Amino acid sequence: MTLGGLLVRIGAGLAVIAALALALWIYARGWAPGRDQYPIQGLTISADNGPVDWGTLAAQGADLAYIRAADAADRRDPAFAANWRGARAAGLRYGALLEFSPCRLASDQATQFMTTVPRDNAALPPVIRLAFTPACTARPGRDMLLSELNTLVNLVESHAGKTVVLNVTEDFDKAYDIGSGINRTLWLDGNFFPPDYASRPWVMWTASDMRHIDGVDGPVRWNVVTP
């Protein structure tokens, strides 16, 4: 085979690979678990997603929305109030999410939550998200972390009047075994495949963090609830 012929074959092969990659990317952008398996589905929203058209989201099949109240850097989400009102007005079920940080006192994080999230009997149980972030490199011992987390859980539950849900990433759970340390409902992450990394069964699952849906720009974390 001549050099020219070899280059043509290589070019054709690369074109096929690129086409397959594009097809997979397009599929991933629109994928969600079947409603026959998971009838209740929704998304996580924060100021990072920009303006939200809540009516369009509801029309696209979002049943519920968890709205970030404060991030792991201990900053209130500037879009929280608008998103809270928007989700409620659109008829979605809605709840508040707090990103936990090992670098902040639990009492300070609870204060951020309580001064941001109104008391609302119609709201879903509050969520505390446990994930490592670049903003915090601290890795306290398990006993210390569970103690602080228990304090945060108790304060948030007292304010909300509901038992919290813990949204735990795989690396965080491997480091601290949250499932066996705190007896609360678990929400786990795992693109496309149901997660199995915690010591107890999950009730919610982030099935994709790359879904695109009309009503909000960019990818969103798409979540489902066990039937």
Question: What number is the average pLDDT over the span 77-92?
Answer: 97
Hey, what are 40's tokens? 């209740």
**E strands of the chain, at which residues?**
41-45, 64-70, 93-99, 127-130, 165-168, 185-189, 204-211, 220-225
Torsion angle in degrees (nearest 10) through CA of 153, 155, 157, 161? 180
Question: What number is the average pLDDT over the span 196-221?
Answer: 95
pLDDT of residue 124: 98
d(CA 117, CA 70): 10
- Residue 209, pLDDT above cutoff 50: yes
> What is the band of 180 on the pLDDT scale with cuts at 50, 70, 90?
very high
Question: What number is the average pLDDT over the span 64-79?
Answer: 92
pLDDT of residue 3: 59
- Residue 205, pLDDT above cutoff 80: yes
Question: What number is the average pLDDT over the span 27-45?
Answer: 91
Longest alpha-carbon distance in the chain: 76
Of 22-26, 53-57, 81-85, 174-178, least confident by mean pLDDT is 22-26
> What is the band of 6 on the pLDDT scale with cuts at 50, 70, 90?
low
Instruction: Report the chain's mean pLDDT, rounded to a whole number.
Output: 90
Report yes or no: 224 and 44 within 8 Å, Cβ to Cβ.
no
Question: What number is the average pLDDT over the span 93-121?
Answer: 96
Report yes or no: 164 and 184 within 8 Å, Cβ to Cβ.
yes
Residue 41 neighbours by CB under 8 Å, 6+ apart: 32, 33, 35, 61, 62, 63, 64, 222, 223, 224, 225
Residue 106 neighbours by CB under 8 Å, 6+ apart: 148, 149, 151, 152, 155
At residue 209, φ and ψ (nearest 5 deg) are -110, 20
- Residue 88, pLDDT above cutoff 70: yes
Report yes or no: 209 and 219 within 8 Å, Cβ to Cβ.
yes
Closest CA to 117 of 132, 150, 146, 95: 95
**Torsion over CA: 192, 193, 197, 200 (sign):** positive
